[in-house]
Structure 1
Amino acid sequence: MSPQPWQNKVTNAAQIGGIETAVLDNGTGRGTRVAWINTGTGLRYKVVLDRAMDIFDAFFNQHSLTWLSHTGITTPEPFSDRGADWLRTFGGGLLTTCGLSHVGGPEQDAHGERGLHGQISNSPAEIESIIQPDLLTGKLDMSITGRMKETKIFGPSLELKRTLSGVLGQPIIRIHDEVTNRGNTIVPHMLLYHFNFGWPLVDKGTRFVWRGNWQAREGGINDQIFRDGYDFKTCPAPLDSHSGSGEAVAFIDVAHDGMGECTVGLYNAKLGLAVSMRFQKEQLPWLTNWQHWGKGEYVTGLEPGTHPPIGQARAREQNTLLFLEPGQTRTYDLELEVLTDETVIDRILKV
């Protein structure tokens, strides 16, 4: 192991980074458990333990990487799964998890009623472990693991086990998820990672990084952005047409590198700052690009998923809906990395 710059200079690893838990004591999030994770590289982020261990604030040095809605952090609302009530507790943040059995708009059919984007993001975690870096032994890995439940008597009963991890001295966030059917009947499964990026990473001229065949979502103003001849891979200035609920969405059959790994991200040349996201095509074959350029609500989403957010009913019609047998588990792995080296960024841009 090569010597670290802090060797023989630091007593407490928290001087460099690590994991710190707390409880919010004010506002709509009062009483909500959180964890601050500091990688010791300028990348630090806040995990909302009571909201599916989703990630809220995320900074690299002085720059925010993410978009925060007016709502901010709220306490979990387990019954916000009717209609569009999900939006009342959608704080934005770097990651909001959608699913575990439905992603997409509100719908009702012979199989039941489902609200926008499912229930899991309003589920508190049971924390299993927190592992801190140890400078003395040189073990610089750190992680936090918890379990969230989407369950009711007579089923369905799904469980999400999530581990967020990293290494002290690396500007990387790793997400390892395991979704298990804890019930005794087969159940549908859909999952979407709703990553939300904002200013200053996202600004006029910021470039999207992704490859694959795409199509605009049906209806609305989606084809005003996602159309042939328009540069929808470069972020515009705020748009009047995106005020209120104005937005554009594309569903992307994301391409991989030949070994099954997909790389997507954003690059702000003015800041010399990029964020890359890596995941496996086999696990998450779809990418959704959400662009909402409203004044004061300036945000874009890059959202890997098992499906585009078409809803359970449409997925059934297309014969693409996933099902989990009793006791079956599906795993998902994602890695986010902050990049500042122009050589590395150039290589990512060419994927």
Structure 2
Amino acid sequence: MKKKVVVSGIIMSLVSFSGMAKQFVLTDSEKGIAVGDWHVSNQTLNIANSTTFSVQNNVLKGGKQAGSEVITITSGDFIIKLSPTRGMGILSVEGEGIRLGWDSPVNEVVHPSFINLESRGGLGWLDGFNEMMVRCGFAWSGHATKADNMVYTLHGRAANTPVSKLIVDINDYAPYTITVKGLIKENTFKKSQLETWATLSYTPGSRSFIVKDTVTNQSDYPRDYQIIYHSNFGTPILEQGARFIAPVKQISPFNHYAISGLATWQTYLAPTPNFDEMVFNVIPYADKQGKTQVMLTNKDGDKGAGIAYNINQLPVLSLWKNTDTLKQGYVTGLEPGTSFAYPVTIERQQGRVPQLAPKQSVEFSLTYSLLANKADVTAYEAEIKAIQGTRQTSVLDKPLANE
């Protein structure tokens, strides 16, 4: 059933009501829909709610971000920003005076039309990299390489693919959960036909949100897929003495450079000039249902970021330390994935590149939490320790592979 409602002074004829939710279609390439600037709130929807909320879409102007869209979800002082133009990447999250995100030298929401993924030997992805969470995949991920008569560029194409459909759902009933979903199409003649519904769900008043993606192979042939949820945090959580806490079954250096950091893999340096990025391969423990969770906390343990997910979906994690200067990008990445960050050719050899049968789908779900005080951090750490239990951590002194 279609209805017309007035939203922020604009008559929207693209609102439907289904499944006890108001649905707003902001983009649909098949129907030629591109709403652009848009706003809705609990007030405009006549929802009498003790927790206020709003959802806003803005089309950016100027520079290399011209044409990029940013959706902002606001509830009290909690703000989530994501870009449907950049593969539904999460730009930043703020609440309780704490930011989840980092300061990249890339200070615009770069439109993919300004990105050449094959530049710098396949490192063009870095020209737009500034998100709190960016999807590396889905046709491939990992370091750039040349094989199969093509260039597998750094971390794939999803992050630089504007969505073909963009929908905002808001539940009609308390607690009025907001879901933003976009369709990412990685369709290439003879090569790929992966389509991903990428979603973010947030309940107003909460300090957590859920990322849930469903990847479908629309091809008539089996296709590889990979995903790394490259989740990045800088100040104020990252600082000298900050800690990475996880239930770790096995950890190994990504390359020979990382061997020197094995003794201190759980802690971080202050901003350090000329610090080259250091990466560790992590295999986490999980509970009987496959649930695991990892966190970054500051030195005093009174602010942090947590990620909970299932190892049956995402069996490995890459721990990326880039404690360079603040100006160059002082950041760490907690990166659950199907694979490590080696080139896809190596990951295939090591059996970490799964396939989807024709028309088969696979789902990934992660819960991100902003930990705003010592009680939050202590409780989250206790849950991690309960997963670890008395099980030991195996520390390997050699990389699993050599590029």
Is the shorter-chain TM-score for this pair beyond 0.5, marking a shared fold? yes
TM-score (norm 2): 0.77
AA aligned to 1:275 is: A
Alignment partner of 1:236 is 2:266:
no
AA aligned to 1:116 is: L
* Structure 1 range deviating more: 19-28 or 329-338: 19-28
Q: Which residue of 2 aligns with 1:340?
A: 372
Q: 1:78 to 1:282 in 2, by over 3 A?
A: farther
DSSP 3-state at the match of 2:297: strand
Question: 1:321 pairs with 337, 350, 353, which one?
Answer: 353
Please, which runs of 5 or more residues in structure 2 have no aligned partner?
A: 1-41, 385-403
How much has 1:270 moved relative to structure 2? Answer: 3.9
Whole-angstrom distance in 2 between the partners of 1:152 and 1:292: 34
Q: Which residue of 1 aligns with 2:178?
A: 142
Q: Which residue of 2 aligns with 1:121?
A: 159
AA aligned to 1:312 is: V
* Structure 1 range deviating more: 42-51 or 187-196: 42-51
Q: Which residue of 2 aligns with 1:50?
A: 85
RMSD of the TM alignment (CA)? 2.3
How much has 1:234 moved relative to structure 2? Answer: 1.8
Whole-angstrom distance in 2 between the partners of 1:150 and 1:195: 22
Question: 2:309 pairs with 269, 272, 279, which one?
Answer: 279
Please, which runs of 5 or more residues in structure 1 have no aligned partner?
A: 1-5
Question: 1:66 pairs with 91, 94, 101, which one?
Answer: 101
How much has 1:341 moved relative to structure 2? Answer: 4.9
Whole-angstrom distance in 1 between the partners of 2:74 and 2:126: 29
Whole-angstrom distance in 1 between the partners of 2:114 and 2:64: 15
Q: Which residue of 1 aligns with 2:22?
A: none
Give CA-to-partner distance per residue, 1:217-252, whole Å, 9 cap, x none.
123x21222x2xx2321221112341xxx1100010
Question: 2:331 pairs with 266, 276, 299, which one?
Answer: 299
How much has 1:147 moved relative to structure 2? Answer: 0.2
Give CA-to-partner distance per residue, 1:239-295, whole Å, 9 cap, x none.
2341xxx11000101111232111001112547212111000100000100001111
Whole-angstrom distance in 2 between the partners of 1:217 and 1:234: 17
How much has 1:54 moved relative to structure 2? Answer: 0.5
| 1:216-295 matched pairs, under 5 angstroms | 216-219=253-256, 221-225=257-261, 227=262, 230-242=263-275, 246-270=276-300, 272-295=302-325
* Structure 1 range deviating more: 76-85 or 19-28: 76-85
* Structure 1 range deviating more: 173-182 or 332-341: 332-341
Q: Which residue of 1 aligns with 2:381?
A: 349
Contact 2:193 2:219 in 1 (8 A): yes
Moved over 6 A (4+): 10-15
Question: Bigger radius of gyration, 1 or 2?
Answer: 2
How much has 1:338 moved relative to structure 2? Answer: 1.4
Whole-angstrom distance in 2 between the partners of 1:158 and 1:124: 14
Q: Which residue of 2 aligns with 1:215?
A: 252
Give CA-to-partner distance per residue, 1:173-217, whole Å, 9 cap, x none.
101100111111111111100111011121112211112210001
Indicate the percent of aligned positions where both proteins have the same amino acid: 23
Contact 2:75 2:205 in 1 (8 A): yes
Query: How many equivalent residue pairs?
Result: 333
Give CA-to-partner distance per residue, 1:128-157, whole Å, 9 cap, x none.
4212365xx434211111101111123311
Give CA-to-partner distance per residue, 1:318-351, whole Å, 9 cap, x none.
2332111110111000000112353442232231
Whole-angstrom distance in 1 between the partners of 2:269 and 2:202: 33
DSSP 3-state at the match of 2:225: strand
Whole-angstrom distance in 2 between the partners of 1:14 and 1:68: 34
DSSP 3-state at the match of 1:132: strand
